[in-house]
Amino acid sequence: MVDNAYVVVVLSVGILFLVHYYLVGRGGGNGGRQLPPGPPAMPVLGHLHLAKKPMHVAMARLAARYGPVFSLRLGSRDALVVSSPECARECFTEHDVTFANRPRFPSQLLVSFNGAALGTSSYGPHWRNLRRIVAVQLLSAHRVGCMSGVISAEARAMVRRIYRAAAAAPGGATRIQLKRRLFELSLSVLMETIAQTKATRPETDPDTDMSVEAQEFKQVVDELVPHLGTANLWDYLPALRWFDVFGVRNKILAAVSRRDAFLRRLIDAERRRLDDGDEGEEKSMIAVLLTLQKTEPEVYTEKMITALCANLFGAGTETTSTTTEWAMSLLLNHPETLKKAQAEIDASVSTSRLITADDVPRLGYLQCIVRETLRLYPAAPMLLPHESSSDCKVGGYNVPRGTMLFVNAYAIHRDPAAWEEPERFMPERFEDGKSDALLIMPFGLGRRRCPGETLALRTVGLVLGTLIQCFDWERVDGVEIDMTESGGFTIPKVVPLEAMCTPRAAMGDVLQKLL
């Protein structure tokens, strides 16, 4: 009898718990509020088992089943996933201020000076001050325009090293892994503009594909990225942080320590240059911040300056190089598009000089290629996550305060209801403004839109145009380029791009002058 009574009590408690969960937790006892639909959840984990990598693909599959607005429970956090252009616009127009906050992920706090960096700070006076500094002092139209010469110089330096490698190869064709060279270029541009410092190359191998600094910083990025993804269990399950059996915290802190040492060297070098009165023709970004620090030390603290630099380097290297790598991968799998882009450059620029930043806006088809690449492979496919600061409605559903917002730009860009043949690489869809009314949002929307958009587009356009103009590109052994996507905040290729590169005969005189 006692045993039976015990079983009845346990079952009764269990049933009451389930009723409470489904009526209250899922919206049945919430005063008539209509919460977004979502899949069945597991105890403790919630829907973490569904957040498979690449997460943007997993979330697109769930959207096909549950609709363009659905909810998830990721461990201890509630989340809303939006996958339609209409609801994305609603989030970043009508509810732009409501979703202007960032969720405080433990991993991000370790990387971003406890959330002090521009990309991770919550909406408020601190964020507005950082945004103003970046928009006015660091990434203004004037400063980005001044950076064009640096981008051109680094693109030419990369071309020179590739040309030398090809000239030394049998038959004048060499096998190139582009990602490493593109990452090195992106870092070199930022080093010169942020810190007025040039990357150094080993004396024993001056034509190596990566400088000493690029190798150092890429190692940091490669170690941090796996722990910063949107499906990182460590951020959602407190128990994993309490015990940290996988040593995630120590791995993040070790990489951050090396990154900060890298940044301090750049900051200290600029401080010494300023103290010596050697500012150069155009102040570097760090020099601008250090000058402002002298008049407002309580605002321009060492922590703030280091956090801003970390943000600029972190956001400006991996994303730009990855986008250019995807563009070249698409072109190699569509050689007719590559030839068309090459012909446009020959006709507009000629083969008697190298392409410049001023040429890029006039190269309409090249611009279409960049836009189509960003449509298919946005650098941050789920954007950076947002968090609601108050209750609101999205797509007719109630969204409680404190809910994380994930906008699946990848799914929006491939929505068959909006795009004709959405999976196909077709730059022509952007010619003559045919797709201007359709939403693409690789840099986000609203007040938290990426402030580095202009610089990123200028860099990708100029570097891609230079590679197309100077070389003929072919797939290795004619094998189609593997387009498998990896996961995380960014969208890197699983298999780094390798291609056969041959200097174009028509550009021979120009390339010779680079030596």
Predicted confidence at residue 448, as pLDDT, reads 96
pLDDT digits over 241-276, tens only? 888 867 888 999 999 999 999 999 999 999 999 988
With respect to residue 257, please indicate whether it lies within any of the assigned structural domains: yes
Q: Burial level of 258, CB count in 10 A (0-12/13-18/19+)?
A: middle
Q: Give the C-alpha separation, 61 to 122, whole Å.
A: 30
pLDDT digits over 60-69, tens only? 999 999 999 9
With respect to residue 7, please indicate whether it lies within any of the assigned structural domains: no
DSSP string, 255-318: HHHHHHHHHHHHHHHHHHHHHTT---SS--HHHHHHHHHHH-TTTS-HHHHHHHHHHHHHHHHH
With respect to residue 27, please indicate whether it lies within any of the assigned structural domains: no
Instruction: Assign residue 136 the CATH number of its domain.
Output: 1.10.630.10
Q: Give the C-alpha separation, 433 to 204, whole Å.
A: 50
Kindly state the average pLDDT of the residues 395-399.
97
Model confidence band, residue 7 (pLDDT cutoffs 50, 70, 90): very low
The helix/strand/coil state of 144 is: helix
With respect to residue 20, please indicate whether it lies within any of the assigned structural domains: no
Q: Is the pLDDT of residue 19 over 80?
A: no
Residue with tokens 């049933």: 15
Taking the CB of residue 347, how many other CB atoms lie within 10 A of it? Answer: 9
With respect to residue 12, please indicate whether it lies within any of the assigned structural domains: no
Preceding omega of 54 cis (within 30 degrees of 0): yes
Kindly state the average pLDDT of the residues 198-209.
74
Q: Measuring CA to CA, how many Å separate 29 from each of 12, 35, 399?
A: 20, 11, 15
Question: What is the total count of domains within the chain?
Answer: 1
Do 104 and 113 form a contact (C-beta atoms < 8 A)? no
Predicted confidence at residue 244, as pLDDT, reads 80
With respect to residue 410, please indicate whether it lies within any of the assigned structural domains: yes
DSSP string, 13-25: HHHHHHHHIIIII
The helix/strand/coil state of 443 is: coil
With respect to residue 492, please indicate whether it lies within any of the assigned structural domains: yes
Model confidence band, residue 240 (pLDDT cutoffs 50, 70, 90): confident
With respect to residue 8, please indicate whether it lies within any of the assigned structural domains: no
CA 212 to chain centre: 23
Q: Give the C-alpha separation, 61 to 269, whole Å.
A: 50
Listed in sequence order, the residues at least 6 apart from 372 whose beta carbon sits closer than 8 Å to its beta carbon are: 330, 425, 426, 427, 429, 430
Q: Give the C-alpha separation, 308 to 485, whole Å.
A: 29
Global pTM value:
0.91
Q: Give the C-alpha separation, 342 to 290, whole Å.
A: 44
Model confidence band, residue 280 (pLDDT cutoffs 50, 70, 90): low
Domain coverage including residue 39: 33-514
